[in-house]
Chain A
Amino acid sequence: MPKEIHDLIAIGAGPASLSAAVYSTREDIDTILYEKGVIGGLAAITDVIDNYPGFSKGISGLELADDLKNHAERFGAQIRLGEVMSIVPDEGLLKLNTTDGEIFARAVLLATGCDYKKLGIKGEAEYLSRGVHYCATCDGAFYRDKHIVVVGGGNSATQEALFLTKFATKIDMIVRGDKLRASEILIDEVTKNPKIKIHYNVTPNEIVGDGQKVIKVAATNTVTNKPIDYVTDGVFVFIGLKPNTEFLKDGPVELNEIGQIITDDDLKTNVKGVFAAGDVRQHATMQIASAVGEGAKAALEIREYLNELARV
């Protein structure tokens, strides 16, 4: 059976990858994207994106993801719903082991983005989706007129806490440090919202349930060193991001100590023909605008790389 070979396979279909696909397909580069999760990545599960230039009134994450997808597909990008398990150089090509079988590419773009970190405390796994959640836009509707705890103090936590006020009557926001680490506009909104109470210097120790559902978060005030309980119907966790690079751990692509992909200024990894862009890359700013820019740059670098390959 002949090998299935493509010019470019992008892994992930978030803003970086979809932006790259707009550019690559316009250059007539045969482009396939693999996405094992949500098209649009974390952007798609964000309620409102208020800092992406060009949308002066903000745009819903789902809508932006749709527009990015439609834009990439308009020029011929093909998005496959499946997973890439490994990448290895193979006789001048890159061999990808995927849920569709072995596929080969002349160039690969790693743009798998990030996922939310887990707390790693007792009760978190036990009550997953029965009171412990990582997606407010998915699961918030189950908390109409309920009491919620939001864990985290960054942009995601503040943004999602504000979204959850559409449903919940009261939100206790548990912040590990002594201040929020979000943009000023979000801090202003969240501190003024009468439904949200922010608790600083608090570390959650356990999510406690009754066997069926969550009933409280047991925590410690790290200043007074005293235990404190937050009675709640559900817990939403937004404590930071981890790069989606598990599938690269045993492969040839170099990662840093926290699993981000190392690239040079031209977005090239240490493996010939493999590029990286967006939130998964070392030094990423974790902003959609940056990811889109990096995607475009990666596509142009890949075009140069493919042209060089063709000249050899």
Chain B
Amino acid sequence: MVKNITIFTTNTCAYCKMVKQFLNTKGFSYDEINLDDQPEKQQEAFALSGQLTVPITLVTKADDTKQVIVGYNLAQLAPAIA
């Protein structure tokens, strides 16, 4: 059971848009942190993923376990929200 989802994005990132579209089609809401608008959050995105890229999706489950998915990766994203 998913408690909440946060996605780190940028304005020009097509893969970010795909993650949002996938979550929308599955009926999930999410919080978005746009790194163009909030560049001070870059370090937070890097700390989560260890990578300098977006999208970074943080899925928090009902038991507060967390899963970080780097990029638009359906093989990881689909089971993370199942």
Contact = CB atoms under 8 A, between A and B. Distances in A.
Q: Do A and B associate with each other? A: yes
Interface of A: 36-40, 44-45, 47, 60-62, 65, 81-83, 99, 129-131, 133, 135, 137-144, 234
A44 B12 CA distance: 9
B76 interface: no
Given A40-B14, A60-B12, A62-B17, A130 B25 contact: no
B79 interface: no
Contacts of A36: 74
A62 B14 contact: yes
A101 to B, nearest CB: 14
Contact of A38 (B42, B52, B54, B72): B72
B81 interface: no
Contacts of B51: 129-130
B18 A138 contact: no
Identify the interface centre among B12, B50, B71: most chain A CB within 10 Å of its CB.
B12
A40 B12 CA distance: 13
Given A36-B74, A81-B21, A82-B74, A138 B42 contact: no
Contacts of A40: 14
A138 B16 CA distance: 8
Interface in B9-65: 10, 12-18, 21-22, 25, 35-36, 39, 42, 46, 50-54
Contact of B50 (A130, A133, A141): A130
B7 interface: no
Nearest to A139: B53
Contacts of A81: 18, 21-22, 25, 74
A131 B18 CA distance: 23
A138 B51 CA distance: 12
A142 B14 contact: no
B18 A39 contact: yes
A135 B52 contact: no
Nearest to A65: B14
B5 interface: no
B53 A133 contact: yes
A113 to B, nearest CB: 13
Interface of B: 10, 12-18, 21-22, 25, 35-36, 39, 42, 46, 50-54, 70-72, 74
Contacts of A142: 35, 42, 46, 52-53
A62 B12 CA distance: 7
A130 to B, nearest CB: 6
Identify the interface centre among B10, B13, B14: most chain A CB within 10 Å of its CB.
B14
**Which 3 pairs across A and B sit closest by C-beta, in order of nearness?**
A137-B12, A129-B51, A44-B14
A47 B54 CA distance: 16
Contacts of B50: 130
A144 B14 contact: no
B19 to A, nearest CB: 10
Given A36-B74, A38-B18, A38-B72, A144 B39 contact: yes
Nearest to B26: A81
Contacts of B70: 129
A138 B8 CA distance: 11
Nearest to A83: B74
Contact of B10 (A83, A131, A138): A138
A36 B21 CA distance: 13
A220 to B, nearest CB: 27
